[in-house]
Amino acid sequence: QTVVTQEPSFSVSPGGTITLTCGLSSGSVSTSYYPTWYQQTPGQAPRTLIYSTNTRSSGVPDRFSGSILGNKAALTITGAQADDESDYYCVLYMGGGISVFGGGTKLTVL
Amino acid sequence: QVQLVDSGGGVVQPGRSLRLSCAASGFTFSNYGMHWVRQAPGKGLEWVAVISYDGSNKYYADSVKGRFTISRDNFKNTLYLQMNSLTAEDTAVYYCAKRFDDSGSYYPAFDFWGQGTLVTVSS
């Protein structure tokens, strides 16, 4: 059973830069997994930030960026703002129609 | 504008069945693959199932395979999730989600989500 790993929590100061990662319990994440990142605030449906590793979804500011860093997918937020305080989820496409979400990262801005 | 309206949730006893619906509007529904994603209370997102634009291909998470069936009616612009043999572990908000493009790919990149419908499995 493949597990997608994310940091459970992270904190960043306003104006700071942070990188969240998305890995695999076994193996390396590559662009072939089409890593996608979602942002979710409590009580709301998720919002797509980044898809296919590094493509920003429509309306997403360019301070959100995606990449592959080492053996993981990464979401970098530059110039963090108070309303970036949310849960962030990555999802990886395993092939054969199957996708797996990571457990999510709770980001605190303080 | 694009709208996805999830419905059909409720309280159901363990072992029983429930069918969720997702009514789509504002886009050519028959061109797009559609997914179901769920979220247990206080937990993270879990991918559930995907169906191709024409309903010919369907794929499921291991946790629901053999119990859940995804389907669609392209004349009614509606996506469905038939859930059988429900257990307490299926308690969650269920979201339908639309792929951002009509490429036919299955990777879960969505541009629109439904508002979610809560399924509670309890005796």
Residue A63: both structure tokens together: 């301070």
pLDDT of residue B52: 96
Q: What is the pLDDT of residues A27-44, one digit of tens each?
A: 999 999 999 999 999 889
Q: Are A100 and B115 in contact (CB under 8 A)?
A: no
**Hey, of B22, B34, B45, which one would you mutate to test binding to chain A, going by the most A CBs within 10 A of its CB?**
B45
Chain A residue numbers touching B110 (CB-CB < 8 A): 46, 48
Residue A42 CA to residue A26 CA, distance in Å, equals: 31
Question: Could B45 and A93 be called an inter-chain contact, meaning their C-beta atoms sit closer than 8 Å?
Answer: no
Q: Are A20 and A4 in contact (CB under 8 A)?
A: no
pLDDT of residue A40: 97
pLDDT of residue B18: 98
Closest chain A residue by Cα to residue B113: A45
Our separate counts of H helices and E strands in chain B read 0, 11
Closest chain B residue by Cα to residue A99: B47
pLDDT of residue B12: 98
Question: How many Cβ contacts (< 8 angstroms) between chains A and B?
Answer: 67
Q: What is the pLDDT of residues B46-84, one digit of tens each?
A: 999 999 999 999 999 999 999 999 999 999 999 999 999
Closest chain B residue by Cα to residue A46: B113
Average pLDDT per 10 consecutive residues for chain A, totaling 110 residues: 93 97 96 97 93 94 97 97 97 96 96
Q: What is the length of chain A? A: 110
Residue B117 CA to residue A19 CA, distance in Å, equals: 32
Q: What is the pLDDT of residues B99-117, one digit of tens each?
A: 988 888 898 999 999 999 9
Phi/psi for B29 (5° steps) reads: -55, -40
pLDDT of residue B104: 82
Sign for the pseudo-dihedral over CA of B86, B92, B93, B95? negative
When pLDDT is averaged across residues B20-47 and rounded to a whole number, the result is: 97
**Hey, of A32, A53, A88, A99, which one would you mutate to test binding to chain B, going by the most B CBs within 10 A of its CB?**
A99
Place of tokens 């809560």: B118
Residue A99: both structure tokens together: 């996708």
pLDDT of residue B101: 86
* Residue A2 Cα, gap to closest chain B Cα (Å): 11
